[in-house]
Amino acid sequence: MEKPFLFHSPLEKHIAHRKESRVNKFVYNNCGHPETDVFNLTTIIVRPEPIKLPGKVTLGASFAFRETATSPIKLQVEMDVSRSGDQWQKLPCIEQVGTCTYDDICELLSMLPECKPCQCPFAKGNYSVPATTIDIPLELVPPGDYRIKAVFTNSEKLGACIELIISFD
SS3 20: coil
Task: Give residues with Cβ within 8 angstroms of 85, minimum separation 6.
Answer: 145
pTM for the model? 0.80
Angstrom distance (rounded) from CA 151 to CA 158: 8
Phi, psi (deg, nearest 5) at residue 58:
-105, 125
Strand order in the sheet with 125-136: 39-47, 55-65, 125-136
Of 164, 162, 157, the residue nearest 41 (C-alpha): 162
Length of the chain: 169
Of 150, 75, 142, 145, the residue nearest 105 (C-alpha): 75
Angstrom distance (rounded) from CA 31 to CA 160: 8
Residue 142's identity, in one-letter code, is: P
Per-residue pLDDT tens digits of the chain, which is 169 residues long: 333 333 333 334 344 455 678 888 889 899 999 888 999 989 999 998 888 888 999 999 998 999 999 999 999 999 999 988 789 999 999 998 899 999 999 998 888 777 777 789 999 999 888 888 999 887 777 889 999 999 999 988 889 999 999 998 8
Q: Where are the domains of the chain?
A: 20-168
Angstrom distance (rounded) from CA 148 to CA 161: 11
- DSSP H helical ranges for 93-135: 105-109
Of 143, 160, 164, 138, the residue nearest 151 (C-alpha): 160
Q: Which CATH number fits domain 20-168: 2.70.220.10, 3.20.20.70, 3.40.50.1000, 3.40.50.720?
A: 2.70.220.10
